[in-house]
Amino acid sequence: MLELDGSMGEGGGQILRTSLALSLITGQAFRLRKIRAGRPKPGLHPQHLMSVRAAATIGQAKVDGDTIGSRALVFEPGEVKSGKYRFAIGTAGATGLVLHTIYLPLAWKADGPSELILEGGTHVSTSPCFHFLQTTWRAWMEWFGLHLKLKMNRTGFYPRGGGQVEAVIQSCQRIRGLMLTTREPLTRATGFSAVAGLPEHIAQRQARRARYRLRENGIETDIVEETWAGGPGSVLALIFDSAPVPTLFFGLGERGKPAEKVADEAVSPALHYAHSGEPVDPHSADQIVLPLALSEDASEFRVSEVTQHLITNIAVIRHFISRDIVCDGAQGSAGVVRIAAKG
């Protein structure tokens, strides 16, 4: 049984999610201590607990420590089964993070397609929103040969939640490697500014701020303003369609946050990415390294910013998979990830 330390690196929930996914894929049991020790409120929260229980359900696993607040977990995987599954977090916990836990075991180990219904948050802080998953993450997966369909039936903003996402995951026999070290200059962005259960002028202010800052930096914009059902909540998303895959950056509203700040939270990282000249954005980098670690091919990609998330995820992967994975570049700077061909 592998012994893992949940305080390593960034000390967050990603250590748990990657461990669960790779346990199901490799058949390796693990014991994880100090779960989310690097967070202000450590231990399992509802979305982390649902990730554990979802992984246990699809993989017929034995689990000890799957309770709210638990800081230690033992996970002994069984056989991954395709099927129709429904997982309700019960709060605004991120549906996308539950999906990230179980999509790869279902694609790589199950013998047929699977259908998921995930209920909880679709647009919540510190996690990929649904539109990032649909626009950017799914496009990377298609590049690698992992075929998924995503559909959002209801939005779920913090703190109310109540969102619903459907996912269809096809089984996959081979994952293609990635060789990507350059991209063309980015001069145009599209996107949307949306409100749900809030005044329309909030969407207008978000869009106005984003247009001004992007055009000031030489990037033409086409941002549409939208009103959604549900809420309350707001989101502004910016998409570079001409990047290697459509690359989305977003900002989310919350009580007391000015609309202009919501726009800035999307614009600032978008401009950093555009000006870097590098092909992979920092949010995608730590998400794509996991499937690439299963490919028999060598991979190499440049990222606009090396994050602690990326460094930590590579460290967790190395516990489960004997593979030469190197990240060259200082944290906070551009870098390159190299994965050697499977020996």
Residues marked active site are found at 309
Half-sphere CA count of 19, side-chain side, radius 13 A = 30
Nearest by Cα to 93 from 13, 22, 166: 13
- Cβ-contact 284, 140 below 8 angstroms: yes
Residue with tokens 């030469």: 324
- Cβ-contact 178, 119 below 8 angstroms: no
Residue with tokens 């995987």: 77
- Cβ-contact 99, 116 below 8 angstroms: yes
Token pair for residue 326? 């190197």
How far is residue 167's CA from residue 153's CA, in Å, rounded to a whole number? 11
CA 217 to chain centre: 28
Q: Degrees (nearest 5) of the Cα angle 113, 115, 117? A: 165
User: Quick one: which H or E segment has residue 325?
Assistant: strand 325-328
